[in-house]
Amino acid sequence: MRFLSYEMSNDTPTYMDNPPVTIEQVSSMESGGIANWFSLTTINHNGTHVEAPWHFVNDGRRLDELDPADFVFASPVIIDVTKGRDDLITREDLEAHSRAIEGSDVLMVRTGFAARFRDHEPETYGKAGPGFSESAGHYLREFPKLRCLMMDIISAGAPAHPEEGVEFHRAALGGTDGNAANAFVLVVEDCRLDADLTAEDLALVVLTPIRMRPSDAGLCGAVGLSRKDLAGLGFRHVQEA
């Protein structure tokens, strides 16, 4: 069983100049309090978070309007698309993995950028990361089964290419392509896609967003479970592919 999301902390990197995460202990048993508890101050786009259509599509569905089934994925796939500072992930990059994407309901794109910069150079991670092009957003909507995109970068929008980032979000979240194969693709940013994460770890992926009302996005836990994990939890009906 693998966490695909990061824990929140005062060191959580932020996109560009977004307000930071602040976690403060309000009550401490060590100091005489009857319990330990904390306050959390953050915007809903810090750390691992899932974006619903309403984030960029004014008449799109809000996060709090989605069903529980929208956050459970039984056909995950992970692909490696190595990218560096300010690079764009294009339609052509994804087309090289078309056969894998075609059968998936959640696509995880691992660029390797988080492994290189998230902990060691958070400023670089937040202000110079790669992102997706508009063409990639349109391409993802061509797959009828695909419902979600997860990535190891802080945002689908590369800071160096703001217009491409806006248009990618609009395309992926359903603001364009009225005749596309699917209505929208959820976008999950700042995911933990470790280098040793493989297809064998990913029989099932579950997202657990914090749902505000209204909300365009939510802080999100994410877990990947293997077939062995599922069997150990009592899901004996799970069969090997």
Q: CATH top-level class for 2-6+43-232?
A: alpha beta
Instruction: Report pLDDT for 236.
Output: 62
- The pLDDT value given to residue 181: 77
Full-prediction pTM beyond 0.75? yes
E runs forming strands in the chain: 2-3, 22-27, 37-41, 49-51, 72-73, 76-80, 88-89, 106-110, 131-132, 148-151, 186-189, 204-209, 217-225
**Which tokens in the block code for residue 138?**
């349109």
Q: What is the tens place of the pLDDT at every residue in 52-65? A: 999 999 999 999 99
Domain locations in the chain?
A: 2-6+43-232
Cα–Cα distance, 83 to 103 (Å, whole number): 24
Percent of the chain surpassing pLDDT 70: 97
pLDDT of residue 116: 97
3-class DSSP state of 33: coil
| Residue 49 annotated to the active site | no
* Residue of 153, 158, 163, 174 whose CA lies nearest to 55: 174
Under 8 Å between Cβ of 2 and 224: yes
**Positions in the chain whose pLDDT score sits under 50:** 241
User: Which pLDDT value is given to residue 241?
Assistant: 44
- Which pLDDT value is given to residue 238? 52
Q: Which of 45, 49, 55, 169 is catalytic?
A: 55
